[in-house]
Structure 1
Amino acid sequence: MEIIEDNSTVTTVQNSNTTDVNFHEEETANKHDQPIDLVERHAITIAILIPFSIIGVLIRLGLIQLHTYQGAPVFALIYPQFVGCTIFGFCLARKWFIMERYLSLYVGLQTGLCGSITTFSSWMLLTFQDFVNTPNYFRSGIYNFLAGLADIGITIGMSIVGLKFGEQLADVFMPNQITSNKTFHKITVKSSNMKGFTLLDWVCVASGCASLVLIITLATTTQVRQRILLATVFAPIGTLTRWQLSRFNSSMPSFPIGTFIANVCGSAILGVLFLLRNGIVYSGIKCETLIGLSDGFCGCLTTISTFTVKIIILPRRHAYKYALTSIVTGQVTMIFLVGIYSWINHGLITTCN
């Protein structure tokens, strides 16, 4: 991939052969072929990320609620992780086909929808709780350790299965939509230029603005399910922050630093919010706001889908290094923010139901 920058645009030339089915891209293209010109406009991307992030967080919360019941065979968080990775795998397998039709749609589906359905921070908190047994189950230390390892193994395993399942669904429902091996693409990124907008572009911008106004209005005027409404308000902020941070991934090809920063920072913020909800009694912030920030902002700032894809496409040594560093850093963050306080005060007192 070659990136050429000037004052107004960033042009990316990238081969389109997607053996995306195998989650990697060929690096060679026929120089005599004419490139397919694609234009990404940041205004449209931002607008399309807003409704997709709202839909994503609602799907995540709905799946968790649906699968939270006594005697559940597996923790409820695994379902949104699997669903988000399945959709991600489908989109990745037909990446250039979608991008040729409407570039911002692919960004909306990948970063907005899938990135908001899946969450890294909640996974880190769940794993930490099992490692230290904060639910206070009747089990010894070795079983706490095994429970934490199970959270890690099941989540990574099912996320990879989801990506592969999405790839197979693409082969079933879109079998003939693979871009030619001889075609490559030229992507021009325009940050602020709004000239040349099509009708579809304006519809996307209007939809993004309308969805943001709608959820803010509902959150400020409706008292029923306010924590869910607040989650939809904070979700676009988390998604847009992650989208901006993802630009740093190209600076370290062997270690996706942008996604790493988003996942670790989101986990740290979730740890603080969890402490406020279950330890430090602070009546100045409503419980609904704390839960909305946890589910919306932190949940959408962090992602499992991109994390899993990076594990697959990176060389094996770099993949293990990235995965291990991310998980260990997430757990250490939880220890310092939640664990130490809990151990000093002999447990946590739930202040928010």
Structure 2
Amino acid sequence: MDCETNDPEPRRSGSFSRMSSAGSSLRKRSFSLSRAVPSRVDDDLESETVSEAGDIGDRALYGNTYSESGRLQDSFDNAIENGVVPTPEGALLQSYGFWSRDPAVSNTVSPVTPLPEEIISPLSTDAIIHTGDEKQENKRELPWLLEYISCLIHLAVFGILGVLTRYLLRNLFGPGVVGATSDESYMYFDLPSNMVGSFLMGWFGIVFKADISKVSDLLAIGLTTGYLGSLTTFSGWNQTMLDLSVEGQWVFVVLGFLIGLFLSEYSIIFGVETAKGFKWLLKRLNTSSEHDISSSKSNWKVDNCRRHLVVLVVLVLMLALLYGVSGAMEKREFNGGSSGAQLWLACMVGPLGVWIRWFLARFNGRGLGRAGLLKWIPFGTLIANVSAACIMAALATVKKAVKTKNCDTIATGVQFGLMGCLSTVSTFIAEFHAMRQSKSPWRAYAYATITIVISFGLGTLIFSVPVWTKGYD
């Protein structure tokens, strides 16, 4: 298979002399920009960044629709890591502008959309310019389509692992072992997995995500969107509250939502704080061997075609093994209608839920319509959680109406796998946490309220009302 150069930015003509000649005029424009740019632009940029705190879906794989705010944040993070602080005018342009990818306008200078090589700093051009490493530019990586397929395989493998982990946590903390959770209490079955997933999101989705991405961007997507997104589930949480409402346990319903929300939020806070402490400790311990560590990181980095293909082959084999085992076990246990049969079916349909959620995440940070209204609402995550909660309620209604062993096995397997992976608490809580840390913390509670009220309200119409009217047991 031929590999092609995957350069995320189109080649641009020009030299450093042209950049230097444009520098003084660019700085002058930046000072006028500081007086001309309205505060609304700053609010829109923050709204977009906060909305994309959890995931941006497949926009991460092709640059022409990649998040502007995400690119700018990466530039600042890299500049800070390199020990270089951008100039005030450079920082201002970074805050309010992004560069065009259209070659037709690649040689124009705009005070709002400067090219990265046209942002001049007297301290160092390497703070913003990321073209100094010729080796990085000449890396030969996977073709785009194959990279997209590789990402889907990452999501599928990690998604199945997330389903298995969620099942183990349910059984561990359920009535059979620890007895901390049950389906008749506000301490619902999926609370431990939601808390563990939120805690790990603080580690791998916030603090160490950039470090993981330096090794492999697809690994970062697989861990956060695939594993942690499937380990946690919003639809299971919502359905337990619907079951409690049918039984008239309205106090438990309110407590279940409040406790579930704040325990997950404090889990991610605890994850962020412990991860930062661990990262600080690693830096202190590894100061003397910094060169060896950098060399070790480069050895593990998946940054060329050969390494991409090796990882892809390994993951394909893992996926084939997981599907093979799941299919064989499902065939053997299906007629028995056991929880094992439901689990293996969930593993087989779970990846589809991960893929749909990942695709929907492209709408995060985009807002509504061409004007981009309400950018602060992560519509992709919202749609995934609400739709999964509604389908989960519909399947629960079917189980109540049909009452057969096979129907129960299929419906429960789809609920636990497909709907459990389509909905997520780890991403939802990451967005909630980012909103609480923003300039408008009220948005966090508004977003949580919108998600919960719509999901529970529609679930009541789909599940609770039929149960009340038909008198299902």
- Fold shared by both chains (TM-score > 0.5): yes
Maintained 8 Å contact 2:238/2:455:
yes
Match of 1:80 among 170, 180, 193: 193
Greater RCO, CA 8 A, separation 6+: 1
CA distance in structure 2 between the partners assigned to 1:220 and 1:110 by the alignment: 26
Q: How much does 1:100 deviate?
A: 1.6
1:257 aligns with 2:379: yes
2:348 corresponds to 1:233: yes
Tell me what 2:202 maps to.
Answer: 89
- Residue 193 of structure 1 is matched in structure 2 by none
How is 1:139-288 mapped onto 2 (pairs within 5 angstroms)?
144-175=249-280, 198-222=305-329, 223-224=332-333, 225-252=340-367, 253-281=375-403, 286-288=407-409
Structure 2 residue runs without a partner (length 5+): 1-44, 49-55, 78-90, 96-115, 120-124, 182-186, 284-302, 334-339, 368-374
Structure 2 counterpart of 1:274, one-letter code? A
**Gap change, CA 1:203 and 1:227, over 3 Å in 2:** farther
1:15 is the counterpart of 2:120: no
Q: 1:286 to 1:44 in 2, by over 3 A?
A: same
Q: Cα distance, 1:235 vs. partner?
A: 1.0
Structure 1 residues 232 and 207 mapped into 2: Cα distance closer, same or farther (>3 Å)? farther
Offset at residue 319 of structure 1 (A): 2.0
1:328 to 436, 453, 469: 453
How far residue 197 of structure 1 moved from its aligned partner, in angstroms, is 5.2
User: Equivalents in 1 of 2:169, 2:257: separation in Å?
Assistant: 19
1:203 to 1:333, Cα distance in 2 relative to 1, 3 A: farther
In structure 2, what is the Cα distance between the partners aligned to 1:209 and 1:269?
30
User: What letter corresponds to residue 59 of structure 1 in structure 2?
Assistant: T
CA apart distance, 1:87: 0.9
Instruction: Give the whole-Å Cα distance in 1 for the aligned partners of 2:63 and 2:192.
Output: 40
Contact 1:43/1:205 (8 A) holds in 2: no
Q: Which SS does the other structure have where 2:377 is aligned?
A: coil
In the alignment, is residue 345 of structure 1 matched against residue 470 of structure 2?
yes
Q: Is the 8 A contact 1:49 1:240 kept in 2?
A: yes
Deviation at 1:76, TM superposition (A): 2.9
CA–CA separation in structure 2 for the residues paired with 1:200 and 1:273: 43
- Quick one: which amino acid aligns to residue 110 of structure 1? T
The worse-fitting range, judged by mean Cα deviation, of 244-253 and 317-326 is 317-326
Give the secondary-structure state (helix, strand or coil) at the position aligned to 1:255: coil
Are residue 317 (structure 1) and residue 404 (structure 2) matched? no
Structure 1 Cα separation of the partners of residues 307 and 263 of structure 2:
36
Residues 288 and 199 of structure 1, relative CA distance in 2, 3 Å threshold:
farther
What is the count of residue pairs matched by the alignment?
Answer: 312
RMSD between aligned alpha carbons? 3.0
Distance 1:168 1:312 in 2: 13
Greater Rg, structure 1 or structure 2? 2
Structure 2 SS opposite 1:14: helix
Task: Give the distance between the partners of 2:410 and 2:318, measured in 1 at CA.
Answer: 20
Question: Is the CA contact 1:238–1:301 (under 8 Å) kept in the aligned structure 2?
Answer: yes
In the aligned structure 1, how far is the partner of 2:152 from the partner of 2:392?
A: 24
Once the two structures are superposed, residues 114-165 of structure 1 have per-residue CA deviations (whole angstroms, 9 ceiling, x without a partner) of: 10000010011111222332xxxxxxx5xx2221111111111111111112
What is the CA distance between 1:9 and its match in structure 2?
Answer: 4.5
Q: Is the 8 A contact 2:400 2:472 kept in 1?
A: no
Q: Matched residues in 2 for 1:168 and 1:323: separation?
A: 23
Amino acid across the alignment from 1:276: V
Query: Structure 1 or 2: larger strand share?
Result: 1
Identify the range of structure 1 (305-314 vs 274-283) with the bigger mean alpha-carbon deviation. Answer: 274-283
**What letter matches 1:123 in structure 2?**
W
Structure-2 change in CA distance of 1:203 and 1:260 (3 Å): same
Given that 2:236 and 2:420 are in contact with CA atoms closer than 8 Å, whether structure 1 keeps it comes out as yes
Contact 1:48–1:204 (CA under 8 A) maintained in structure 2: no
Q: Which residue of 2 aligns with 1:63?
A: 169
Q: By how many angstroms is 1:66 displaced?
A: 1.0
Q: 2-side partners of 1:14 and 1:69: how far apart?
A: 49
| C-alpha distance after superposition, 1:21-47 (max 9, x if no partner) | xxxxx9947943223879883222212
Deviation at 1:75, TM superposition (A): 3.0
1:292 aligns with 2:387: no
CA distance in 1, matches of 2:209, 2:327: 38
